[in-house]
Structure 1
């Protein structure tokens, strides 16, 4: 695997996590397209933020070997990124709509 392929897998996992979470928690859903976009950006944001701790795609492939433990941590961070991104965007959306109605 290459670092680019690991990055794409991580983004795909974030998309799946956001859509599955929104499927079970309907109040957080923005529709399939919205959930997909939030999953992409949430996953990327979390991997870029926390990947500096040593589980970014290029650390997973360091030295030409595949480090499966780092890959599993990367996948879990992508899942949490997609879910927390969806929760955060819903919170922001509610706050903006609340302020709009108070005007």
Structure 2
């Protein structure tokens, strides 16, 4: 895997996390398109913020080898980023519409 493919998988997992969470908890849902956008931004933000701890795509592919444990951590953070991105955007949306 290359760093680009790992980044794209991270974004995809963020989208899946946001859409799945929106389907389970309807009060946080913006529909498929809104959840997708929230998942992309949440996933990218969390990976960029917390990836400095050592599980960014460059660290996963360091020295041309694939580190599975760092990839799993990256996937978990991506899904959580998508979910938390959706929750935060919904709270901002509710606060602005009061």
Band the TM-score falls in, shorter-chain normalisation: over 0.9
Q: Which has the larger radius of gyration?
A: 1
1:4 correspondence with 2:30: no
CA apart distance, 1:62: 0.1
Question: Normalising by the residue count of structure 2, what TM-score does the alignment of the two structures yield?
Answer: 0.99
Alignment match, 2:88: 88
Alignment match, 1:31: 31
Question: Normalising by the residue count of structure 1, what TM-score does the alignment of the two structures yield?
Answer: 0.94
Moved over 6 A (4+): none
Cα separation, 1, equivalents of 2:28 and 2:45 = 19
Alignment match, 1:54: 54
Q: Which stretches in structure 2 are left out of the alignment for 5+ residues?
A: none
Cα separation, 1, equivalents of 2:24 and 2:55 = 29
Q: What whole-Å deviation, never above 9, does each CA across 1:72-98 have from its counterpart, x for those lacking one?
A: 000000011000000000100010001
Task: Find the residue that maps to 2:14 and give its secondary structure.
Answer: helix
Give the paired residue count: 98
Alignment match, 1:101: none
